[in-house]
Amino acid sequence: MNLFRRGDKGEDDAPEYRYILMLADLHVGHAFGMMPDGYTNSAGNGIELNVAQRYLWDCWQDLLEKLPQRIDTLLLVGDMVEGQNVAEEARGLSEVDPFYQINAAAEILAPVVSRVPVVGDNRNVYIVAGSKYHVGHGREHLLGKRIQAVPRNGRYAPMWRHIIIDDVLIELAHHQSFTIRYATMPLEREYGFELERTGRRREALPPEVVIVRAHTHKGYRAVEERGALCVSLPAMKLQDDYAAGSKYPNRLVPDNLGAAALKIYREPVDGYRVHPARFLYDHPAIETEVVRFE
């Protein structure tokens, strides 16, 4: 099956490309994460979206309108559900049952998943596991089964994956190394780790490499390092006090929310075959305490 398509407007002379959508950190089930409007929770009550969830839902509906009707591959890069917030004694949850969170996540993702082609028994959907604190040891595995994702060795959500699309290697994982101060160093470091792993396996890297990470909730980042495109994905969750109060103060206010995509062209366009696209939304302002001494 030829997954390449012409330009967005169908021009005959437009370059052909594949469209890869990347989503991460939805944290479905948290009061500051997305929930379907009117969703019936584990207590049998219909959930009325709060102000934060309504904002995220509006952003999500805008994203669905902007996305193409055909998405060749969908990459879900961890923390699709919030989990039970054990460290916070379940505070901040709008749904406490992880299995109901999975149902809600599947419902939210359905309009995107339906645009991804079926190949054999599965859709071109790939998941990697997020933080164990949120997703436990198999919740995203169950989500993968629900949405017909592609398994690896019987598991739908391994910790990392190598996906090769037309000789472009996409190295996928949720966690990333990071520093307090410098925005690009974490992604540069991830490329170095990939070189180490490849060297141990005594394999040659494909001509083009895309490294995709998430987890930091800092917003969209993209840096090119030695020919590799390194992308850090934004979250689709508003910042909460627990994360903002962590030992990493650069997490206080995310730069943006949203999603990102890759267009992989058959032939180079402007010198590159892989072109990132982004769908970004403002994070609402967070009030800070200011004390003045006269």
Q: In this structure, what CATH number is given to the domain that contains residue 252?
A: 3.60.21.10
Beta-carbon contacts of residue 253 (< 8 Å; ≥ 6 apart)? 239, 244, 283, 285, 286
Question: Rounded to whole angstroms, how far apart are CA atoms 232 and 218?
Answer: 9
Q: Mean per-residue pLDDT for 149-164? A: 89
Band (251; pLDDT cuts 50, 70, 90)? low
Q: Is residue 121 domain-resident?
A: yes
What does the pLDDT look like over 208-233, one tens digit per residue?
889 999 988 888 989 887 778 989 99
Give percent of the chain above pLDDT 90. 45
pLDDT of residue 282: 93
The confidence band for 2, taking pLDDT boundaries of 50, 70 and 90, is: very low
Q: Which of 266, 238, 262 is nearest to 252 (CA)?
A: 238
| Separation of alpha carbons 260 and 24, rounded Å | 9
> What pLDDT, on the 0 to 100 scale, is given for residue 245?
58
**Structural domains in the chain (count):** 1
Of the candidates 197, 221, 226, the residue with the CA atom closest to the CA atom of residue 22: 221
Top mean-pLDDT range of 23-27, 42-46, 236-240, 253-257 = 23-27
Mean pLDDT of 99-119: 95
Q: Is the pLDDT of residue 273 over 50?
A: yes
**Is the confidence at residue 182, as pLDDT, over 90?**
no
Q: What pLDDT score does 183 carry?
A: 59
Residue 186 lies in a domain: yes
pLDDT of 1: 32
Mean pLDDT (the chain, rounded): 84
251, amino acid identity: R
pLDDT of 3 strictly over 60: no
Q: How confident is the model at residue 53 (pLDDT cuts 50, 70, 90)?
A: very high
Q: Would residue 75 count as lying in a domain?
A: yes
Residue 148 belongs to domain spanning? 17-281
Examine the pLDDT at 198 and tell me if it is beyond 50: yes
Q: Which of 115, 128, 137 is nearest to 65 (CA)?
A: 115
What pTM does this model have?
0.86
Are the C-beta atoms of 80 and 117 separated by less than 8 Å?
Answer: no
How many whole angstroms separate alpha carbon 163 and alpha carbon 172?
8
Distances, alpha carbon 129 to alpha carbons 45, 161, 189, in Å: 29, 10, 20
In-domain check, residue 90: yes
254 lies in some domain: yes
- Measured distance CA(98)–CA(112) in Å, rounded: 22
Pairwise CA distance, residues 111 & 113, whole Å: 6
Is residue 288 a part of any domain in this protein? no
- Look at residue 5 and tell me if it is in a domain: no
Residue 294 lies in a domain: no
Higher pLDDT among residues 246 and 41, named by residue: 41
| pLDDT for 241 beyond 80 | no
